[in-house]
């Protein structure tokens, strides 16, 4: 084109011909963009809606598709129609309490598209109206109109809406905000309570609270729980937020006994305290008569007795089937006070995130010399089987992020006659002398150990440890056990137990 433009020999007729050839080119991309959506428009809307469910979501809210719905609805009418036919896209609603644009009619219309699928509602805010949380609490206590959790839209959704919520999450930055939230709900008692009374699962997040109320001055903190709640999730404040002078969590959880008796699932996450007074936990669990699933994250805090001389009675969870303990720390003295005669599934993690990041705990079996920095493996064994004389019915065991020394694994598994599934994840086996080979001892023991074991998973094992597991191959071949073994080179950095040159502990 440039050559033709500057070439004096080019005639006007030739220039006109070249221009006529170039004119259709700018229109070709436009036509291409018009025809691109045609094949995907031929996809049935039900299939297209299923494809939308694979869109990436937030790690904090993996079931929330609000952003996905907003994006696909802007593409074309066909895509919006496909989204409307997919109830899973509308089930999870997250409302920022400090948002100025919360309209009941719009939220109610959104939730009506769920159909019969379970609905989840989250109401949360990092700050109350953008105010510093250390001062926002005082303002909420003095003037309800300044608290963003006192908005009428929440009262309408939870007490007057025809939509029934199966699960609700309340994340308030201060205790006073939760008070204002509940006080606002109470205003609607005479207007109908269908939505609130349908809640089956309730999560209350208190991780940013700067104070924990004293139960002697107020009614129980969680007096507002509807009787329909069967699953309760409670996330407690952190030590650096709440500013206790002590490093020990000693405060009652303040859940009414009438609600505890109906719980079938209870999840509890402690903050970063050094110690947890066992009575603060046991006084709550002692009333959970119907509890079937229990998950506790200890944040590596020690479960302790404040008065070692006082009696510490055991508690019984007669219906507990599933127990999940995260970020556990030694000793197990207090945990052994929990009796679970029907326990079927147990998971214990000694890591911060379940990925071996906190790996470094070393245990050894009873009777062995204990190198410096190790813990008594018999304590763990006694807890897993529920006591020295208990005939455990445990069917599934998952141990995460621990370092096994000598024949500790043998002592743990020896009396688990009903065990069918064993998962060892982010485990390190220290060098094993032939006389303490765990799997060889399991095969040689009389009566046979773990006779019902059918599946064994050894996951994220350090590469160099594979040849140190001893008779693992012989064990699974002799028993016909299905073995899954994976290695991970990043599970390194674990220390060997140090030989104690002084007196043994």
Nearest to 460 by CA among 434, 435, 430, 423: 423
Residue 189 has pLDDT above 80, yes or no: no
Q: Two tokens at 136?
A: 């926002």
Cα–Cα distance for residue pair 57/83, rounded to 1 Å: 16
Q: Which residue has the higher pLDDT, 91 or 467?
A: 91
Residue 194 has pLDDT above 90, yes or no: no
pTM for the structure as a whole? 0.81
**DSSP secondary structure string, 21-33?**
HHTTTTHHHHHHH
Q: Which residue has the higher pLDDT, 262 or 308?
A: 262
pLDDT of residue 372: 55
SS (H, E, C) 104-136: HHHHHHHHHCCCCCCCEEEEECCCECCECHHHH
pLDDT of residue 298: 92
Q: Is 300 left (phi over 0), alpha (psi -120 to 50) or beta?
A: left
pLDDT of residue 503: 36
What φ, ψ does residue 105 adopt, rounded to 5°?
A: -60, -40
Residue 348 has pLDDT above 70, yes or no: yes
Domain ranges of the chain: 355-505
Q: Which residue has the higher pLDDT, 343 or 273?
A: 343
Residue 72 has pLDDT above 60, yes or no: yes
Cα–Cα distance for residue pair 238/211, rounded to 1 Å: 10
User: Mapping DSSP to helix (H, G, I), strand (E, B) and coil, where does residue 445 land?
Assistant: coil
Cα–Cα distance for residue pair 101/502, rounded to 1 Å: 69
Residue 453 has pLDDT above 90, yes or no: yes
Confidence of residue 469 (pLDDT cuts 50, 70, 90): confident
Confidence of residue 465 (pLDDT cuts 50, 70, 90): low
pLDDT of residue 358: 47
The separation between CA 163 and the C-alpha centre of its own chain, rounded to angstroms, equals 26
Residue 266 vs residues 102, 246, 359, 400: alpha-carbon distances, Å: 31, 26, 27, 21
How many CA atoms are closer than 13 Å to the CA of 101, on its beta-carbon side? Answer: 1
pLDDT of residue 3: 45
Cα–Cα distance for residue pair 167/285, rounded to 1 Å: 22
Cα–Cα distance for residue pair 191/211, rounded to 1 Å: 33
The pLDDT tens digits of the residues spanning 19-55 come to: 666 665 555 544 444 454 555 667 788 888 888 888 8
Segment 381-402 mean pLDDT: 82
pLDDT of residue 361: 55
């Amino acid at each position: 084109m440039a050559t033709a433009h500057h070439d004096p020999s080019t005639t006007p007729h030739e220039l006109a011909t070249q221009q006529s050839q170039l004119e259709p080119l700018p229109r070709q991309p436009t036509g291409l963009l018009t025809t691109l959506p045609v094949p995907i428009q031929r996809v049935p809307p039900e299939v297209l809606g299923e494809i939308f469910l694979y869109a990436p979501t937030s790690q904090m809210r993996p079931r929330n598709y609000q952003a996905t719905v907003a994006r696909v609805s802007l593409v074309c009418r066909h895509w919006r129609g496909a989204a409307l036919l997919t109830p899973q896209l509308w089930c999870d609603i997250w409302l920022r309490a400090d948002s100025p644009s919360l309209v009941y009619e719009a939220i109610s219309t959104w939730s009506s598209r769920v159909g019969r699928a379970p609905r989840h509602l989250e109401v949360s805010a990092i700050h109350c109206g953008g105010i510093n949380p250390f001062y926002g609490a005082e303002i909420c206590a003095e003037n309800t109109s300044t608290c963003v959790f006192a908005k009428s839209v929440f009262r309408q959704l939870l007490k007057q809406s025809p939509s029934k919520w199966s699960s609700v999450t309340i994340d308030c930055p201060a205790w006073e905000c939760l008070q204002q939230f509940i006080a606002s709900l109470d205003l609607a008692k005479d207007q109908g309570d269908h939505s609130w009374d349908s809640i089956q699962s309730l999560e209350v997040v208190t991780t940013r609270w700067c104070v924990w109320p004293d139960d002697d001055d107020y009614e129980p903190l969680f007096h507002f729980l509807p009787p329909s709640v069967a699953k309760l999730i409670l996330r407690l404040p952190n030590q650096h937020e709440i500013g206790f002078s002590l490093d020990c969590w000693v405060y009652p959880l303040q859940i009414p006994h009438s609600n505890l008796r109906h719980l079938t699932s209870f999840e509890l996450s402690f903050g970063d305290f050094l110690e947890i007074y066992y009575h603060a936990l046991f006084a709550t669990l002692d009333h959970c008569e119907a509890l079937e699933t229990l998950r506790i994250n200890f944040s590596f805090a020690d479960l302790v007795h404040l008065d070692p001389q006082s009696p510490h009675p055991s508690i019984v969870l007669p219906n507990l089937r599933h127990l999940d303990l995260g970020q556990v720390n030694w000793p197990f003295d207090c945990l052994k006070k929990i009796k679970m005669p029907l326990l079927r599934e147990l998971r214990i993690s000694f890591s911060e995130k379940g990925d071996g990041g906190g790996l470094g705990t070393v245990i050894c079996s009873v009777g062995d010399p204990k190198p410096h920095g190790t813990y008594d493996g018999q304590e763990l064994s006694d807890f897993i089987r529920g006591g020295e004389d208990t005939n455990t019915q445990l069917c599934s065991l998952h141990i995460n992020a621990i370092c096994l020394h000598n024949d500790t694994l043998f002592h743990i598994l020896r009396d688990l006659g009903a065990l069918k599934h064993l998962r060892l994840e982010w485990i390190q086996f220290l060098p094993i002398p032939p006389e303490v080979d765990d799997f060889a001892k399991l095969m040689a023991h009389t009566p046979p150990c773990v006779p019902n074991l059918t599946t064994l998973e050894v996951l994220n094992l350090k590469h160099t440890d594979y040849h140190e597991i001893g008779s693992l191959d012989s064990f699974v071949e002799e028993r016909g056990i299905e073995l899954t073994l994976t290695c991970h080179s990043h599970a390194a950095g674990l220390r060997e137990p140090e030989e104690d040159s002084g007196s043994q502990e």
